[in-house]
Amino acid sequence: MTAKRIDGKAVAAALRERIAAEVARFRDATGRAPGLATVLVGEDPASAVYVRSKGKATLEAGMESFAHHLPMITTQGELVALVDRLNDDPAVDGILVQLPLPPQIDERVIITRISPDKDVDGFHPVNAGRLAIGLHGFVPCTPLGCLKLLQGELGDLAGKDAVVIGRSNIVGKPMALLLLKESCTVTVAHSKTRDLPEVVRRADIVVAAVGRPEMVKGDWIKPGATVIDVGINRLPADDDGKSRLVGDVDFNSAAEVAGAITPVPGGVGPMTIACLIRNTFVSAARREGFSYEKSL
């Protein structure tokens, strides 16, 4: 048995195409485009790549991109002042402050300063609370992308046994809440979970977001299960001087058992950016009272 590879690139491209069509209707109706403001503090190469890719995707969807690149020595007060200006700017529908921030800035202060209605990353405590009690709010982009991949592969998720490995505020906790909302039976596993392989073997759905390269082995997986690998880990260079990216799942062994599995790269990653664009459009639509395709 060889698992089906879930093509995150293709699913993300289709979602972005649908968003672009909705954006065109929005522009015709309102006379403006939805706008995403990105804020990068410092020179972290990986963060710079992420921010550029988000800006590019925003423009490709027909939306406005407002990029703010601040020096590493930026103070917390200066960043707060910028966030306040973006909160008040009617052209900005979504605000994304790229993490991590330099040590002189408290991330919690910045996350909570962003207006919950422009918090397209879904990190604000108000949006976390909305998700927890089933109200409309913004959901973090990576777990939202994982959910869309699962729904595309399995359709109705009701009654499925799901295990989420990892309990971060960015992926693990919101992922578990999204699966609960879909009427899955959800277990959140983590580093202190006893007999983790046995817990994972019960699951019809496995979402691995633990940050440990290739930790989840093929013999942990229930035959036919759907595996979503959120991890992205760069292994040291081999004898040929080449490093490689791997997920939190040992892909080769898991693919021999699972029914479907996401690769790394090319699985969850493209969905994260597509869902950021989606959240920004939804923010604009809500602010303007614009009716949009609810399946986005």
Angle subtended by helix axes 141-154 and 268-288, to nearest 10 = 110
The span from the CA of 218 to the CA of 257, in Å, is 6
The DSSP element (H or E) to which 48 belongs, if any, is helix 45-60
| Side chain identity at residue 226, one-letter code | T
Q: Clarify whether 121 is annotated catalytic.
A: yes
| Side chain identity at residue 267, one-letter code | G
Q: Which of 93, 98, 160, 173 is catalytic?
A: 98
Q: Clarify whether 54 is annotated catalytic.
A: yes
Q: Clarify whether 222 is annotated catalytic.
A: no
Q: Which of 121, 204, 229, 248 is catalytic?
A: 121
The DSSP element (H or E) to which 97 belongs, if any, is strand 94-97
The span from the CA of 107 to the CA of 99, in Å, is 8
Q: Which of 54, 118, 148, 173 is catalytic?
A: 54
Q: What angle do CA 7, 177, 280 make, to 5 degrees?
A: 60
Q: Quickly list DSSP for 227-285.
A: EEE---EEEPP-TTS--EEE-SB-HHHHHTT-SEE--SSSSHHHHHHHHHHHHHHHHHH
By annotation, the residues acting in catalysis are 54, 98, 121
